[in-house]
Amino acid sequence: MKKWTTLAVLLGAALCMASAFAQPRAADKPADNMEILRDKIRADKKLLVAENMQLTESEAKGFWPVYEAYQKDLETLNNRTVALIKSYADALNTKSMNNEKAKKLTSDFLALQADEVKQMQSYVPKLEGVLPATKVARYLQIENKIRAVIKYELAGEIPLVPGK
């Protein structure tokens, strides 16, 4: 449980930094710090997955390449999420939110959610090729828990769309 909490804190810190663009900044911090944080989060996440998967040696040989490919594809979705949040923050900061922008943000959000599910579905056969069904389910459950923490942190940081 402590490892989940630690990962949640790290993810929360990273997301706060990612969503901090919505706040005016006096000066940017060195880019190296953000890269170090990303590397730390990736390593902690991988350790958390390894500890919870209980893979045999032969399962691990097949699983880790699929895991790495999934994480790379997940990064694309994460980048889209950050871009969507930036777009929303820009509209809030410039007080230019209107029905047209809100409709586009909604459409982009729903497309992102659908693509996340499609990506997960596309990896199930790859995972089933290297793991028994119980461990495929366990891995998807771990990923889902981590994504839930991320979404929870984002939900707490992002204000509601202003009503008119």
149 within a domain of the structure (yes/no): yes
162 within a domain of the structure (yes/no): no
Spatial contact of 81 and 115, defined as CB atoms under 8 Å apart: no
Reported confidence tier of residue 36, pLDDT bands at 50, 70, 90: confident
pLDDT at res. 164: 67
Alpha-carbon distance values, 131 to 46, 70, 144 (Å): 17, 15, 18
Helices (H) and strands (E) in the chain, counts: 5, 0
pLDDT at 7 over 70: no
40 within a domain of the structure (yes/no): yes
pLDDT at 23 over 80: no
164 within a domain of the structure (yes/no): no
Any idea what DSSP says for residue 95? T
Average pLDDT of every residue of the chain: 85
Domain of residue 29 covers 2-157
163 within a domain of the structure (yes/no): no
63 within a domain of the structure (yes/no): yes
Q: What is the mean pLDDT of residues 19-43?
A: 63
21 within a domain of the structure (yes/no): yes
56 within a domain of the structure (yes/no): yes
Spatial contact of 2 and 43, defined as CB atoms under 8 Å apart: no
pLDDT at res. 26: 46
* Chain-centre distance for alpha carbon 120: 13
